[in-house]
Amino acid sequence: MLRVTGLTSQFRGRAGVVRAIDDVTFEVPEGEAVGIVGETGSGKSVTIRSVLGLLPSYGKVVSGSAEFEGTDLIRLHRSRLREIRGARIGFVAQNPFGSLNPVLSIEKQFRNVMRAHRRISRSDLRDLALERLESVQVRGPERVLRGYAHELSGGMAQRVVIALAMLHDPSLVIADEPTTALDVTVQRQILDLIDAQVKQGRRSLLLVTHDLGVVAQYCHRVVVMKSGKVVETGLVADVFTNPSHDYTRQLLAAVPPAPWAAVPSLSGPEVHR
Ligand X SMILES: Nc1ncnc2c1ncn2[C@@H]1O[C@H](COP(=O)(O)OP(=O)(O)OP(=O)(O)O)[C@@H](O)[C@H]1O
Name the residues that contact ligand X, by CB under 6 A. 11, 20, 38, 40-46, 56
Q: How many CB atoms lie within 10 A of CB 250?
A: 12
Whether the Cβ atoms of residue 142 and residue 130 lie closer than 8 Å to each other = yes
Q: Which stretch binds Mg ion (CB under 5 A): 39-47, 77-85, 105-113, 154-162?
A: 39-47
Q: For the chain, how big is the Rg over CA atoms in Å?
A: 19
Q: Which is nearer to ligand X, 56 or 256 (CB)?
A: 56
Is 148 or 247 the residue whose CB approaches ligand X more closely?
A: 247
The identity of residue 89, as a single letter, is: I
Buried b (16+ CB within 10 A) or exposed e, 9-30: bbbeeeeeeeebbbebebbbee
**CA separation for the pair 149, 218 (Å, rounded):** 28
Residue 179 found at the interface with Mg ion (CB under 5 A): no
56 binds, among Mg ion, ligand X, none (CB under 5 to 8 A by kind): ligand X
Which of residues 90 and 228 has its CB atom nearest to ligand X in the complex?
228
Q: How far is the CB of 193 from ligand X (least distance, A)?
A: 22
Under the criterion CB under 5 A, does residue 109 sit at the interface with Mg ion?
no
- Looking at the Cβ atoms of 26 and 110, the one nearer to Mg ion is 26
Q: Are strands 221-226 and 33-37 parallel, antiparallel or unpaired?
A: parallel
Among the listed residues 153, 164, 223, 221, the one whose alpha carbon sits nearest the alpha carbon of residue 189: 153
Cα of 22 vs its chain's centroid, Å: 21
* Strand ranges in 186-247 using DSSP code E only, listed in sequence order: 204-208, 221-226, 229-235
Torsion of CA 70, 73, 75, 81, to 10 degrees: 120
- 45 interacts with Mg ion by CB under 5 A: yes
Nearest approach in angstroms of CB 177 to Mg ion is: 6
Instruction: Give the nearest distance from C-beta 204 to ligand X in angstroms.
Output: 20
Query: Closer to Mg ion at the Cβ: 44 or 85?
Result: 44
Binding partner selected for residue 213 from Mg ion, ligand X, none, CB under the kind-specific 5 to 8 Å limit? none
Cβ proximity of 210 and 256 under 8 Å: no
Q: Between 138 and 177, how does the x/- string for binding to Mg ion read (CB under 5 A)?
A: ----------------------------------------
Angstrom distance (rounded) from CA 131 to CA 207: 25
**Residue among 18 and 263 whose Cβ is closer to ligand X:** 18
Q: Among 38-46, 84-92, 167-175, 254-262, which window interacts with Mg ion (CB under 5 A)?
A: 38-46
Asked if 26 contacts 1 with a C-beta cutoff of 8 angstroms, the reply is no
Q: CB of residue 56 vs ligand X: minimum separation in angstroms?
A: 5
Decide which of ligand X, Mg ion, none touches 43; Cβ closer than 5 to 8 Å per partner kind.
ligand X
Interface ranges with Mg ion (CB under 5 A): 44-45
